Amino acid sequence: MVKHVNKHINEDTGLPAQIVLLLDTLKQQCSDRFQNIESNPLYAEATILDPRFKGFAFHSQEIFNIAVTTLRQWMYCTWKLKELKDDLKKRGAKITGKKADLVERSESYVLCLYNQQSPLASQSQAIDVPAVELYQDVNSSTILPKITKKHIQSYFDRFNRNISDAVKLYESRYLLILRSTTFAQETYLKGRFSPVNKG
């Protein structure tokens, strides 16, 4: 978009002053919004994975390397326990708990750091969700709402899927972590998935 705007600004097309002003404003807003995207895990991932960019999304190899580092840090669930503890120790954070707790803690630090720096973070985007520390691993003793196989298949039917697809994903370890909590009479689930669908 910025390239498109620049093209029209740089061409001597005799555009009216209001249009030139609009293009200048649009260019500035694009620049403000997308500056340092290589340090934002969400923008970096979307930009690298977008096939339209064909690997040329970032202006230099150095910025591309920053984006890759950002993504590697974002994939905490693939880290070994020692790596997670070392990372949290550097941040002065608590290093006790299960691996899932350490993953959540590390991700929270990254998101918190990004949200403090981001011009996009605003109160209007805030939603009331349970605190990270309230989530626990889902296991055989976890109390969940009664969901039958029929409910699950009904959900999958909307997307032309079969319950066997979900079973295959589970067996292929596509789901890395599943945690839940009950908050204000609602059950919340959080998961982390493998970056590649092997199922």
pLDDT single digits (tens) 99-137: 888 887 877 776 665 444 444 444 455 567 788 888 888
Q: What share of the chain is helix, strand, coil (3-state, %, to 5)?
A: 55, 10, 35
pLDDT range class, residue 163, cuts 50, 70, 90: confident
Q: What is the pLDDT of residue 147?
A: 84
Q: Which residues contact 172 (CB under 8 A, 6 or more apart)?
A: 194, 198, 199
CB–CB of 136/180 below 8 Å?
yes
**Containing domain of residue 185, as a range?**
133-199
Between 187 and 176, the higher pLDDT residue: 187
The residue that leads in pLDDT, 50 or 80, is 80
31-73: per-residue pLDDT in tens?
A: 676 666 666 666 666 666 666 665 556 666 676 667 666 666 6
For the chain, the domain total comes to 2
Q: Is the pLDDT of residue 198 over 50?
A: no
Say how far apart CA 145 and CA 148 lie, in whole Å.
Answer: 10
Tell me, yes or no, whether 60 lies in a domain: no
**Averaged pLDDT for residues 63-90:** 77
Same domain, 122 and 142: no
Q: Is the pTM of this model over 0.75?
A: no
Q: Which of 84, 90, 70, 103 is nearest to 178 (CA)?
A: 103
Q: Do the domain assignments include residue 22? A: no
Q: What is the pLDDT of residue 117?
A: 45
How far apart CA 192 and CA 173 sit, in angstroms, is: 11
Give the pLDDT score at 58. 63
109 assigned to some structural domain:
yes
